[in-house]
Structure 1
């Protein structure tokens, strides 16, 4: 089952959306929008960009591992490479 985008009201005339996984886990929460229409546009932007977006690891974990294997020389992480889950 696919995730679900939910639009909710945060306060007086402010809205946000959240993406929940099939098991109910909240995967993402948006910033606030001034209208439901703007929140819906934000959902569309996420859907379009997530389908083609690259994963870039900026955690530094790759750099530390590469550095220890390269005799102390720091190596920059490659961008645009898939990050393994788990």
Structure 2
């Protein structure tokens, strides 16, 4: 993987993770690096699910794929925030 691919994955992960955090109500006490990791994982899994559903390749912006990714990121943020808060 080239450095531009890694940087792109981090930027997309940050955006998807941030959108996931915005969807979850309340304050999440998790670090930004964990939000990026959740966003990257949610983006990868969301793309896989969208491909299986046949909605990954559409003309223009893939709103359904983006919705799946943000929903997965929100689930990841909610689950992680709950377990991360209990550890401290």
Determine if the TM-score, normalized by the shorter chain, exceeds 0.5.
Answer: no
Q: Which has the higher strand share?
A: 1
| Structure with bigger gyration radius | 1
If asked which structure has higher relative contact order (CA below 8 Å, sep 6+), I would say 2
**Which TM-score applies when normalising by structure 2?**
0.31
**Which TM-score applies when normalising by structure 1?**
0.32
